[in-house]
Structure 1
Amino acid sequence: MSRREEIENKTEALLKPIAEKNEVRIYDVEFVKEAGQWYLRAFIDRDGGVDINKCVDVSHELSDALDEHDFIDEEYILEVSSPGLGRALKKDRHFENSLGLEVDVKLYKALDGTKEFTGKLKGYDSDTITIEMATGDKTFIRKEVSSVKLTLDF
């Protein structure tokens, strides 16, 4: 397990009781470096969505817990937010909760002349993602997929 994954897992463990207390679900936790700065991001959700006040409450409690346990050596910025409408599907629980919904799949390399596909999420496993398109089912190898997001429909 990488240092990044270790930090994400420990943070998620600290966040779990905080999320339960605040009646939210943990959508994801990520520890990423962008433009030379580390960010620890916690994405929370609940039926009907989360508002800024709920994010602030969770952020204060998580910040206190992180200070108490002090397991991150790097300087970082803590962000707590909603995963948003066009949320990324990264983990199996994200795919499970999104079965039957329309998703946008982006590939690293073009397949059949395109890198982007849209369809209803039909299935997934540890190696593949299958979507239902007007032209039929399309299965992608997960290692070849750069991102899967819920389709934004306005």
Structure 2
Amino acid sequence: MSKLTALIQELVEPLLTPMGYELVDLQYGREGGRYILRLFIDRPEGIGLDDCEQVSRVVSALLDEKDPIPHSYYLEVSSPGLERPLKKEADFNRFAGRKVKLRTFAPINGQRHFQGRLLGYQDGQVRMHLEEGWDLAIPLEQVATARLVFDLADDEED
């Protein structure tokens, strides 16, 4: 995470939490000749268009006031989608039992890509039951990316 995105996160998270939203992820970069700041928000009951509009208004006002971004940019606010990223320790416990894809920075047992059922987070490790039939514990600092995998069977259980 760059210094700028870390600063934006520090500004935005305390604003969203009392509103009942979680900042799942944020991305900032140049695309097609313009800068874009994307915020991905969530809450237990899900996200709708009204939520995105409300968050966009309050975040835009905050960023206009604090002015951390030195040039013009576009602000986009959306839900993280069905295959949301898992980034925080709490995410791995919240979504225990769900199907996930995980990629590590370095190979573990000769591979970097894993898919299976998330068992949770404990003692600094993400635990999962792999599709190959065995359990694996991966230190969180070795996880490059992790995200839910949409599975209709999971959705029907909720």
TM-score by length of 1: 0.77
Report the Cα distance in structure 2 between the residues aligned to 1:74 and 1:147, rounded to whole angstroms: 30
Displacement after TM superposition at 1:107 (Å): 2.5
Q: What is the alpha-carbon distance in structure 2 between the residues aligned to residue 54 and residue 14 of structure 1?
A: 14
Matches within 5 A, 1:52-63: 52-63=49-60
Structure 1 moving runs of 4+ over 6 Å: none
Q: Is the 8 A contact 1:8 1:31 kept in 2?
A: no
Contact 2:13–2:23 (Cα < 8 Å) also in 1: no
Equivalent residue letter for 2:93:
E
**1:29 Cα shift?**
4.2
Q: Who is 1:26 aligned against? A: 22
What is aligned with 1:150? 148
Question: Could you say if the C-alpha distance between residues 54 and 32 of structure 1 is closer, same or farther in structure 2, counting changes exceeding 3 Å?
Answer: same
Structure 2: distance between partners of 1:123 and 1:47:
18
- Counterpart code for 2:143: V
Q: Does 1:117 align with 2:149?
A: no
Shift of 1:31: 4.3
Alignment match of 2:70 (pick from 70, 73, 85): 73
Q: How does 1:4-153 map to 2 (within 5 A)?
A: 4-17=5-18, 20=19, 24-35=20-31, 38-125=35-122, 127-133=124-130, 135-153=133-151
SS at match of 2:75: strand
CA distance in 2, matches of 1:126, 1:31: 29
Q: Which amino acid aligns with 1:78?
A: L
TM-score, length basis structure 2: 0.76
Distance change (3 Å), C-alpha of 1:92 and 1:142: closer
Identity %: 32
- Greater mean alpha carbon deviation, residues 82-91 or residues 1-10: 1-10
Alpha-carbon distance in structure 1 between the residues aligned to 2:7 and 2:113: 32
For structure 2, the 5+ residue unaligned runs are 153-158
1:29–1:40 contact (8 Å) kept in structure 2: no
The one-letter code of the counterpart of 2:9 is E
Structure 1 gap segments, 5+ residues each: none
Q: What is the number of equivalent residue pairs in this alignment?
A: 149
Deviation at 1:116, TM superposition (A): 1.9
Deviation at 1:4, TM superposition (A): 2.8
